[in-house]
Amino acid sequence: MTIVGLTGGIGSGKTTVANFFEDLRVPVYFADIEAKKLMNRSKVLQRKIKALFGEEAYVNNELNRPYLASKIFNNENLLQKMNAIVHPKVGKHFDRWVKNQNAPYVIKEAAVIFENDSYKNYDFIITVVADKKARMKRILKRDLTTQQKIKAIMKNQWVDSKKVRLSDFVINNKSFENTREQVDSIHRKLLNLSN
Ligand code: ATP
């Protein structure tokens, strides 16, 4: 099975692109969503996360995300420790998911692929890019957040040019229509490459 990674900076349009691939019946695994589900569901993860962050990490068995975000923010060491707990579990869950798919290739959508070196685990990588101003505007329209918060997240992510150099495909997400065309074209190439 060919494994394709799909990534991009905050608000670049990863989910939008992933949904376009789903429209072409490509199975997509949304790593960040699955990670959050596993952090709620898995007793082992709960125990380890509580050991790292304290009992307040969960409220009524639900991950206390604002608390965790405040702890992790600007604390690279804690972030790395949390990733070391969560990533292997998501990795195993993904491997099981892959075994249940019947398609020439599958996509794993994840915000972080380059930053944590996991790009080596993929056969191909697609990076979605969009200019910072457009991303900012789109996120502000979608989320209840501030420019300052978005900028802080952007600062912690690799710049697009660095990701582009290591990618097999790049989608420049300007208009929905044009992005769908780029997805169609990459899909055709991936079908050929997967055979
Ligand atoms: P995040 O990193 O926050 O998870 P993302 O990379 O998954 O974001 P999307 O959620 O796909 O990005 O897109 C961000 C927002 O921008 C969404 O509300 C989406 O509908 C909108 N959007 C995506 N692409 C375009 C586009 N080409 N034109 C206008 N709006 C867009």
- Tens of pLDDT, residue by residue over 133-183, are 999 999 999 999 999 999 988 988 899 999 999 999 999 999 999 999 999
Give dist(CA 176, CA 121) in Å, integer. 29
Range of the domain at 127: 1-27+103-188
- For 108-133, b/e burial (b = at least 16 CB within 10 A) is bbbebbbeeebbeebebbbbbbbebe
Nearest atom (ligand 1) to Cα of 111: 2
Contact assessment for residue 181 and residue 22, using Cβ atoms and an 8 Å cutoff:
no
Same domain, 110 and 174: yes
> What's the pLDDT band for 117 if we cut at 50, 70, 90?
confident
Q: Find tokens 């080596």 and name the residue.
A: 120
111 lines ligand 1 (CB under 6 A): yes
Mark which of 66, 82, 100 sits at the end of a domain. Answer: 100
* Distance from Cα 55 to the centre of ligand 1, integer Å: 34
Nearest Cα residue to atom 15 of ligand 1:
138
Same domain, 22 and 107: yes
**Residue 86 lies inside a defined structural domain of this protein:** yes
For residues 91-113, average pLDDT:
96
Same domain, 125 and 51: no
**Residue 64 lies inside a defined structural domain of this protein:** yes
In which order are the strands placed within the sheet that holds 124-129? Answer: 28-30, 105-109, 2-8, 124-129, 169-172
* Cβ neighbour number for residue 49 with a 10 Å cutoff: 21
pTM above 0.85, yes or no: yes
Mean pLDDT score across all residues of the chain: 95
Nearest atom (ligand 1) to Cα of 178: 27
Same domain, 70 and 2: no
**Residue 132 lies inside a defined structural domain of this protein:** yes
Whose CA is closest to 6, among 160, 193, 170, 178?
170
Classify 192 as helix, strand or coil.
Answer: helix
**Amino acid of residue 106:** V
Q: Find tokens 């079908």 and name the residue.
A: 191
13 lines ligand 1 (CB under 6 A): yes
Q: Number of structural domains, the chain?
A: 2
Same domain, 126 and 159: yes
Same domain, 46 and 1: no
Same domain, 118 and 138: yes
| Residues in a beta bridge with 4 | 107, 124
